[in-house]
Structure 1
Amino acid sequence: MSRVVHSAVYEGRVTHSRHAPTPHAFRYRMAQLYLDLDELDQAFDRRWLWSVNRRNLAQWRRADYLGDPDVPLAQAVRERVREATGSMPAGPVRMLTHLRYGGYVFNPVTFYYCHAADGTLSSIVADITNTPWRERHAYVLPLTRAQRHGRLWCWEFDKDFHVSPFMAMDRRYDWRFTEPGEELRVHMKVLRGLAPEFDADLALWRRPLDGAALARVLLRYPLMTLQVIGAIHWQALRLWLKRTPVHDHPGRADRGPKETS
């Protein structure tokens, strides 16, 4: 079996906190895979319950992710960055995502960490899927346009995609990322004017991508993606019971994946 160098399992928690107009918060434990797209075949080689583009209990399937399924995913991500910024990353592309478990997949967001030829991080792509419409939208975040606060890379920009019936469109985002290491953090804040209305915090810790870690994912988080969509609908019901205002879909003319810098 070829050695997997950059891919890993990240395990930790996700916390959502809604501050207005209806206070609401929850926290779940979770695990995601961090996959170097050049290591896919090695990562799941001889893993009985894991596979690439082949049915299994846990499956990485090209069609579940950004862009044309006939185009290699790393190429599609690089093209998306080039379209948004005019510059194509020449180094590795690594993704933080859920796989297809038990034949079902849902990723509220998949992050792609794009690197320059020298291996340094150059941009992050956040590919978001909304609920319940299953539309996708890719925000491209080049590090050249980020502010640096300690170990955090920070971007602030207008919201451009309807994510949830409980969130209005006329908002701004404040997103903050660490570079993936022993710890991986993502903090996504929604602002109404200068006031924070909602924030989501992802705090994960790295494990080697080996047989023990993959077995732990299946045992501790069985059918992870079904748990994700179930939790989304459960929290939506709780918000509805709290009489949280509901915002209609704005009816975008272009329903396909888009890129925003």
Structure 2
Amino acid sequence: MTRTGGDVISLGPAGRESAALYECVITHVRRTPLRHALRHRTYLWCVDVDRLPVLPRPLRPLARFDARDHFAGTAGSLRAGLDAYLAAHDVDLDGGRVVMLAHARVFGFVFNPLSVFWCHDSYGALVCVVAEVHNTYGQRHCYLLRTDEADEAEVDKTFYVSPFFAVEGRYRMRLPLPDELLHLTVHLENEHGRAFTAVVRGVRRPASVAALLSAAVRRPWSTAAVWAGIRRHGIHLLLHGLPVHPRVRSTPQKGMLP
């Protein structure tokens, strides 16, 4: 692992940085049955799961990547957890590179509404994208996606996320691998049309000590703020009379927790 001038990055193949920070704006737009929008600023990490950044010891509370926060939560590493999930779905990357976009733990807390894993084979070709969704009830669910040339994929909704949406409909996602810019889009479509849209936009910054400190000062306890913001907007919708759908028991996924 390379550390230069206080950087917390390592260098991947062909000198490509394997860790970066994205200063992000996340937008949610709910269209039915009540129109409501929220906008939230945060920062996300983009890392190679085999080359996770190592921070100087005093800064480690600001970012920790823990295998228990993803997939079954019982593997020894992020890579092992992902490989076990993929193996259960007959996917073998043969050691290929995996890029993850997610929040890290900050002061011991993490909440990732959406973590994305771009999974490549040993030749560098994109094999699949895994979109891991977390709800505020401590549950998680993975969608295995085969994106097309436009980086888009569709999948049925099978996981309870918001109490204001039933477990029905279909997601249409656009998930291009982040570069200098980050731009992800998730639409939920149901019998009423396009019911909900989430957009994540961001600008890449080298994952240096200075960049992390700057982000942490401007967005302290960023991941807890995301969790609290979702709860706050949920209360707003409840007070405006939006009907609640009872939480359903999730069916265990292959390669995930029972």
Q: What is the TM-score of this pair, normalised by structure 2?
A: 0.87
Equivalent residue number for residue 29 of structure 2: 17
- The partner residue of 1:229 within 207, 227, 241 is 227
2:99 matches 1:94: yes
2:126 matches 1:121: yes
CA contact (8 A) 2:88 2:255 kept: no
Change (3 A) 1:248 1:59: same
CA-based RMSD of the aligned residues comes to 2.1
- The partner residue of 2:194 within 193, 196, 218 is 196
Deviation at 1:57, TM superposition (A): 4.1
Q: How do residues 56-71 of structure 1 correspond to structure 2 at under 5 angstroms?
A: 56-71=61-76
Deviation at 1:247, TM superposition (A): 0.5
Counterpart AA for 1:37: V
CA contact (8 A) 1:129 1:135 kept: yes
CA contact (8 A) 1:7 1:34 kept: yes
CA contact (8 A) 1:12 1:30 kept: yes
CA contact (8 A) 1:47 1:211 kept: no
Please give the alpha-carbon distance, in whole angstroms, between the structure 1 residues aligned to 2:62 and 2:80: 27
Equivalent residue number for residue 184 of structure 2: 186
Q: Deviations over 1:68-114 (max 9, x none)?
A: 43432112212322322x22113112211111112211111211111
Deviation at 1:116, TM superposition (A): 1.3
Counterpart AA for 1:44: V
SS at match of 2:177: coil
- The partner residue of 1:82 within 56, 64, 87 is 87
Deviation at 1:257, TM superposition (A): 7.1
Counterpart AA for 1:25: A
Deviation at 1:190, TM superposition (A): 0.5
Structure 1 segments unaligned to the other structure (5+ residues)? 51-55
Structure 2 segments unaligned to the other structure (5+ residues)? 4-9, 11-16
Q: Deviations over 1:109-156 (max 9, x none)?
A: 21111111122322111111112x2111111113xxx3333xxx1111
Change (3 A) 1:63 1:159: same
Equivalent residue number for residue 138 of structure 2: 134
Deviation at 1:240, TM superposition (A): 0.7
Deviation at 1:217, TM superposition (A): 1.9
Q: What is the TM-score of this pair, normalised by structure 1?
A: 0.86
Please give the alpha-carbon distance, in whole angstroms, between the structure 2 residues aligned to 1:194 and 1:147: 26
Please give the alpha-carbon distance, in whole angstroms, between the structure 2 residues aligned to 1:120 and 1:171: 30
Deviation at 1:45, TM superposition (A): 4.1
Q: Which moved more, 1:193-202 or 1:158-167?
A: 193-202
Please give the alpha-carbon distance, in whole angstroms, between the structure 1 residues aligned to 2:106 and 2:56: 18
- The partner residue of 2:243 within 224, 229, 245 is 245
2:212 matches 1:214: yes
Deviation at 1:255, TM superposition (A): 8.3
